[in-house]
Amino acid sequence: MAYRLLINMKNNISLWIGLLGLIVLSTGCERLSRGVVQEIEFPEHEPRLAVSMLCNWDADTLVARAQSSAGILDADGSQKQKETLFTLSQSNGASYTWGGTTDWQDGIGHVFENPGLEEGEWTLTAEAPGFESASGIQTTPPRIDTISGAPYHVSFEFTPLEPEVDEWPEEDKIFVRQIIEIELTLPTRENAQDFFILQPTIDIDALSTEEYEYAAIWVNREFDEDPRVERLRLFEGLLVQEVAGSIGLESITFELEVEYYGQTLEDYEALSKSLQVVAVTPEMAAYYVSLGNIRNPDGFALFSEPLLAYTNMSSGYGCFGVYRSIALPL
């Protein structure tokens, strides 16, 4: 019987093809029950140093932090590395080292007291036991000035509009809303990229907590469309940068809006309000923009390019950034 079948098959191509098809189909169909989704374990993560040193070059203290990066499945997460040694060095041989457990201050990080460092290009190197060292480079931005004629000065014009006051007699309070029109001209340099963060601040420490006072200041969304200006997503503020084809950083205009809920108009007017003009390095600007985008993304993730945290550290995590700021009273 089997012999006959074989003889028949020898002479019948369609039988052979049918048999081959059945074998192949049964092999494939057997696996259909597994579905079309498979789970893959995360690749093992090799921890690296995530260094954060974003510092005001004119401050009395500089603070650096080093954490370990962690795999997404690592229950312990990103851990502080107290034994990290930080070195700031220049090509002319200047070198300053701090860190380790002696310079560690809980809740703050590794503190470098009274640095008094010169301007120029600096390399930050972080070394911690069990990690590859990480390094990054920064060139300090110039000190900002308000004196006309100074090489890196900001000129400004603030126009506070008449405050709108709503009285709430049943609660013996007033609600104040005020618009402040801003026009700034920020300095630019040849052969260098100039970036500025503009951050409005109001002294909420002066508010009475017992009287339930409240005050806030923010950039009004109705500022003119200006390709040089973009809203920061990490906190209330703007990032200003030079754009090809535009005329430097002249005449940056926008509005600030202030709200106050409290006792009297005099109390409101006594509150200290200012606009921080912060000259940041391009690397620090990129870091703030990327962190802001990660925390407040727009669009649907599946249809958008993945977001990565900007880094200028060789380890691939963190940032060495330098800024200088000046507060312009409003």
Give the Cα separation of 208 and 166 in Å (integer): 19
Half-sphere exposure of 4 (CA within 13 A, CB side): 1
308 binds another protein (CB under 8 A): yes
91 binds another protein (CB under 8 A): no
290 binds another protein (CB under 8 A): yes
Nearer to another protein, 108 or 161 (CB): 108
234 binds another protein (CB under 8 A): yes
Report the nearest approach of another protein to the CB of residue 17 (Å): 5
Report the nearest approach of another protein to the CB of residue 96 (Å): 16
54 binds another protein (CB under 8 A): yes
Residue 156 CB neighbour total at 10 angstroms: 15
Which amino acid is located at 152 in the chain? Y
Report the nearest approach of another protein to the CB of residue 301 (Å): 9
40 binds another protein (CB under 8 A): yes
| Sequence-distant (≥ 6) Cβ neighbours of residue 307 within 8 angstroms | 290, 293, 294, 297
Is residue 131 exposed (0-12), middle (13-18) or buried (19+ Cβ within 10 Å)? buried
Give the Cα separation of 86 and 74 in Å (integer): 26
Give the Cα separation of 114 and 156 in Å (integer): 32
Residue 95 token pair: 């070198």
Query: Which one of 5, 7, 94, 108 is in contact with another protein (CB under 8 A)?
Result: 108
C-alpha distances in Å from residue 319, one per residue of 64, 152, 204, 276: 10, 25, 30, 22
Query: Which one of 5, 15, 17, 161 is in contact with another protein (CB under 8 A)?
Result: 17
245 binds another protein (CB under 8 A): yes
Query: Which one of 50, 128, 134, 271 is in contact with another protein (CB under 8 A)?
Result: 50
Under DSSP, is residue 177 helix (H, G, I), strand (E, B) or coil?
Answer: strand
Look up residue 31 and give its DSSP letter: T
* Piece of 32-40, 85-93, 157-165, 179-187 that binds another protein (CB under 8 A): 32-40
Nearer to another protein, 2 or 244 (CB): 244
Among the listed residues 240, 220, 221, the one whose alpha carbon sits nearest the alpha carbon of residue 230 = 240
Mask 194-233, x = binds another protein (CB under 8 A)? ---x-x-x-------------------------x------
Query: Which one of 1, 6, 37, 147 is in contact with another protein (CB under 8 A)?
Result: 37
Query: Which one of 2, 235, 266, 329 is in contact with another protein (CB under 8 A)?
Result: 235
* Piece of 13-21, 96-104, 143-151, 254-262 that binds another protein (CB under 8 A): 13-21
137 binds another protein (CB under 8 A): no
Under DSSP, is residue 32 helix (H, G, I), strand (E, B) or coil?
Answer: helix
Report the nearest approach of another protein to the CB of residue 259 (Å): 19
Give the Cα separation of 138 and 313 in Å (integer): 10
Query: Which one of 86, 195, 261, 317 is in contact with another protein (CB under 8 A)?
Result: 317
Under DSSP, is residue 186 helix (H, G, I), strand (E, B) or coil?
Answer: coil
Query: Which one of 7, 10, 19, 45 is in contact with another protein (CB under 8 A)?
Result: 45
288 binds another protein (CB under 8 A): yes
Give the Cα separation of 311 and 295 in Å (integer): 16
